[in-house]
Amino acid sequence: MRLALIIFSGLLFLSDLSAKTIYPATGVEMTLKQVSKHVYYVQGKAGIATDNEGFISNAGFVVTKEGVVVFDALGTPSLANLLLSKIRSITDKPVLKVIVSHYHADHIYGLQVFKEQGAQIIAPKGAMDYLDSSAAEERLEERRFSLEPWVNETTVLVSPDVIVEKPMTFEHGGIRFTIDVLGAAHSDGDLTLYIEPERVLFSGDIIFEGRVPYLGDANTKTWLKTLLKMEVGKIRALIPGHGPAAKNPNQAISATRHYLARIRNVMSKAVENMDDFAETFDKTDWSEFEHLPAFNEAHRRNAYQVFLSMEAE
């Protein structure tokens, strides 16, 4: 009887191990940066989505007495698994929640790692619009090719457990968190996370410091309004979706707002005058932005997206 119990216990142990997904090792350098007593983040390198094994975006976490709250999940499960190891170097407390800034591939493919940990996935309204679209599956198939083996057949799209449609607050371990829902700005739905005692804002892809933002399918009209309304006076640190934490949050917001406003101003005049996009783009002086990272890769595409959207407007 005792032998049978030992064998049964061993089988349960093996079953538990086999339930854990084994993710391909990643060779990227991921450095943990602490911005306040409880808040940490990792910074991806500048580049296109498939550069640096997909590590081109940021993610962060907040350590509380009750557990860990994570913000965004990076662009591959392997990267998220490495982030989890960084979290475990700080605390063994459970991962309670993952707050997703928006449903774009470079921020969500790691969600399954935290879901396996039992974390609750919270996302803004609009996330299901992405998940229900053909673009979501097409992007995943493309990344299974371009980011193989780190994105592969075991990589899945994870739906949120909670959809947030309006601002909300919650507390863990005496730390108060505020989620602000921004609507369709950079994506089908965007949110930010403010950690009140620390005065730290995770801004997702709404704000960048020192680089040209990738506009993608962004509603730049809404985005611009959001930046104009955002209250930043009490913010001690701002962690964007890409690039380093802002040294001057007000300046980072102002620079992103100026970039969007400049493109919209130029392209609105072109649309109003029925001018050709290429001619308008080529004759416009964009030199104030040329020094910024990602200018060559993203700026012309951004301008064309705004041109098309303003025609629709």
Sequence-distant (6+) residues with CB within 8 A of 99 are 69, 70, 71, 72, 122, 123, 177, 179, 191, 193, 202
Tokens 């104009």 -> residue? 228
Strands 175-183 and 190-195: antiparallel
Count how many Cα atoms sit within 13 Å of the Cα of residue 299 in the half-sphere of its side chain.
Answer: 21
Rounded Cα distance between 224 and 159, Å, is 28
Cβ pair 105, 143 in contact under 8 A: yes
Instruction: Assess if residue 299 is contained within a domain.
Output: no
The residue to which tokens 């030992």 are assigned: 6
Q: Which residues contact 68 (CB under 8 A, 6 or more apart)?
A: 61, 62, 87, 91, 93, 94, 95, 96
Task: Tell me the three state secondary structure of residue 289.
Answer: helix
Q: How many CB atoms lie within 10 A of CB 9?
A: 10
DSSP class of residue 104 equals -
Can you give the length of the chain in residues? 313
Q: Residue for token digits 């994870």?
A: 158
- How far is 111 from 252, CA to CA, in rounded Å? 28
- Whether 220 is covered by a domain: the verdict is yes
Range of the domain at 153: 18-247
Instruction: Give the pLDDT of the chain (313 residues) as one tens digit per residue.
Output: 433 433 333 434 333 333 468 899 999 999 999 999 999 999 999 888 888 999 999 999 999 999 999 999 999 999 999 999 999 999 999 999 999 999 999 999 999 999 999 999 999 998 999 999 999 999 999 999 999 999 999 999 999 999 998 889 999 999 999 998 877 767 778 899 999 888 899 999 888 777 788 787 777 888 888 777 776 667 889 999 988 898 788 888 888 889 999 999 999 999 999 999 999 999 999 999 999 888 998 899 999 999 998 888 7
Inside any domain, residue 225:
yes
Domain membership flag for residue 260: no
Specify the amino acid at residue 112.
Q
Tell me if 91 sits within 8 A of 131, measured CB to CB. Answer: no
236 lies in a domain? yes
The domain total for the chain is 1
On whether residue 148 sits in a domain, the answer given is: yes
**Residue 68 within a domain:** yes
**Which CATH number characterizes residue 194's domain?**
3.60.15.10
Q: Is residue 292 part of a domain?
A: no
Cis peptide leading into residue 149 (ω within 30°): yes
